Amino acid sequence: MREMIEPSAATVFCLPFAGGSSHSYQELQRFTNSGVKLVGLDLPGRGSRFSEPLLKNLPAVVDDLFSQIKGRLSENYAIYGHSLGACLGYLLVKRIIREQCPLPFHLFVSGREAPSSPKKAENRHLLPRADFFDAVRQFEGTTNEVLENRELMDLFEPVLRADFQALDTYIYEKDLPFDVPITVMHGTDDHVTISDAQRWQEETTREISLLEFQGGHFFIFKNAKKIVEVFAQSAQSSFELAV
């Protein structure tokens, strides 16, 4: 008779979107269960690391993220990122491969076109304040109340500009696809097109899973329960394959 083995909780490292912190995915945290735990990561200049200098290029950000998780890569883990975080997740997997560390069982991305897709915007971090706020407003993640609060934005604006600079100055380099499955989550009313989302297939040897959800760029919060279920189902599948 085959011995029954209970899977341990899978860790999903959650990478921040522009302006985000380790607290950005609290809505998703509400729906975690015994099968999955979400671990939010802070970048310099925000959250628990507010006093540290901001990073303004993606390689430096990825170096920082890797240093945070490298001691935990023997765990059963996945990586998730939304928007900027999706690009960071892709680059973090590449870094993990270069370091010859254990790979994640899955990469989850949302609200972001594939890295190989042509850029739709450049140098947003150089825009005058009013124009920069208009660009931020288009993503619907920052309310007008916050954007019109001078004290809050004096704190928040440098963080957003640093993140936009890191993303807008990133230059994609074609490389061999990696052997990590990717689930791409897409909002029906997001600015990311289906064709751009499908191009994530170029980055993995596995067939991607493309899931659609109702909503705009921050559809993840209205669909938090379903997204955590996607994490848990993938974790269970990876456990079953490993046993």
Positions marked active-site:
83
**Spatial contact of 7 and 75, defined as CB atoms under 8 Å apart:** no
Cα 78 to Cα 35: distance, rounded to the nearest angstrom: 13
The helices-and-strands tally (H runs, E runs) of the chain is 9, 6
Cα 131 to Cα 100: distance, rounded to the nearest angstrom: 43
HSE of 220, CA atoms in CB hemisphere, 13 A: 32
Cα 19 to Cα 126: distance, rounded to the nearest angstrom: 16
Cα 153 to Cα 135: distance, rounded to the nearest angstrom: 14
Going from the C-alpha of 79 to that of each of 38, 66, 119, the distances in angstroms are 10, 12, 23
Residue bearing tokens 């975080």 = 85
Show the tokens assigned to 10.
Answer: 């899978």
Cα-only R_g, the chain: 18
The sign of the dihedral angle between the CA atoms of 16, 185, 109, 194 is: negative
Query: Which phi and psi (to 5°) does residue 170 adopt?
Result: -70, 135
**Torsion angle, CA of 212/213/218/224, rounded to 10 degrees?**
-120
